Amino acid sequence: MGDSFGPVRGDAGGGNGAGDACGRGTEPSRKEPIRVLVVDDHALFRRGLEIVLAQEEDIQVIGEAGDGTEAVEKAADLLPDIVLMDVRMPRRGGIEACTAIKEVAPSAKIIMLTISDEEADLYEAIKAGATGYLLKEISTDEVATAIRAVADGQSQISPSMASKLLTEFKSMIQRTDERRLVPAPRLTDRELEVLKLVATGMNNRDIAKELFISENTVKNHVRNILEKLQLHSRMEAVVYAMREKILEIR
């Protein structure tokens, strides 16, 4: 498998990216290792991930599955912290399994790790509750970094997909210009500031520097935003905000 799945460059930030800015310098203080379930229909790829992640002292692969159906069963039994899962698999795909896993293991956070760079797959994965969407071209180091960041409450998305997501946001605004909007929960001015920076791909650390506040304060704002909007991830919050025209990306 080598030392990477392939290089990826670009900076979508740690809030939405798996690059250099995604969570480094914000390592969570965990006493127990992050428990990971690996789901992919290729046994060789699963084994490669296990070998790579075994080198990380704070990450433990506790199980594997070859399709979405098996993934749901394993998640219910093992209750992992993180599910690392492919999108396209036989019997039951990753996106459908994502929804089911959130029901049987609500605390599990799901990272889609896939070759699919289709905008539709990305959007459906977010709606299904995925907290990350990474392309298999990323390096092995970035996989471990993304797992840590998601375990610490951040969302992760490959830079190239982040760009596509922002393009979709703009199109979404144009398509819904004449749609009757449901009144949205009121966010404070500071929460709107934080949400705008999340939408540009900044991670918590960079948002804190930009607004001259602590990183913990940023985390509290993000949590409040999600609670007010009744959403599950940072990416969902941005999609919602764009759809409801709470903020604009120019």
Which pLDDT score, from 0 to 100, does residue 27 have? 45
**Are 50 and 142 found together in one domain?**
yes
Is residue 13 one of the residues assigned to a domain? no
**Are 126 and 234 found together in one domain?**
no
Is residue 248 one of the residues assigned to a domain? no
Mean pLDDT of successive 10-residue segments in the chain (250 residues)? 39 39 44 94 93 94 96 97 94 91 94 86 86 88 92 82 66 51 70 83 86 93 87 77 62
**Are 44 and 154 found together in one domain?**
yes
Which pLDDT score, from 0 to 100, does residue 106 have? 92
Enumerate the β-bridge partners of residue 166. Answer: none
Residue 210 has φ and ψ, to the nearest 5°, of -65, -40
Per the structure, the complete domain to which residue 232 belongs is given by: 164-243
Q: How large is the angle between the packed helices 204-211 and 215-229, nearest 10 degrees? A: 110
**Are 134 and 170 found together in one domain?**
no
Which pLDDT score, from 0 to 100, does residue 28 have? 44
**Are 157 and 53 found together in one domain?**
yes
Residue 25 has φ and ψ, to the nearest 5°, of 90, -5
Is residue 29 one of the residues assigned to a domain? no
Which pLDDT score, from 0 to 100, does residue 18 have? 40
**Are 152 and 216 found together in one domain?**
no
List strands edge to edge, sheet with 34-39: 59-65, 34-39, 82-85, 109-114, 132-135, 156-157
Is residue 1 one of the residues assigned to a domain? no
**Are 39 and 141 found together in one domain?**
yes
**Are 83 and 103 found together in one domain?**
yes
* Amino acid, res. 81: D
Is residue 215 one of the residues assigned to a domain? yes
Give the domain-ending residue among 114, 136, 161: 161
* Environment class of 45 (CB within 10 Å of its CB; exposed 0-12, middle 13-18, buried 19+): middle
Per the structure, how many domains does the chain have?
2
* Amino acid, res. 156: Q
Measure CA 86 to chain center: 13
**Are 179 and 122 found together in one domain?**
no
Which pLDDT score, from 0 to 100, does residue 24 have? 40
Can you list the positions of beta strands (E) in 149-203?
A: 156-157
**Domain at 100, CATH number:** 3.40.50.2300
**Are 173 and 196 found together in one domain?**
yes
Which pLDDT score, from 0 to 100, does residue 60 have? 96
Is residue 209 one of the residues assigned to a domain? yes
**Domain at 237, CATH number:** 1.10.10.10
**Are 98 and 216 found together in one domain?**
no
**Are 156 and 171 found together in one domain?**
no
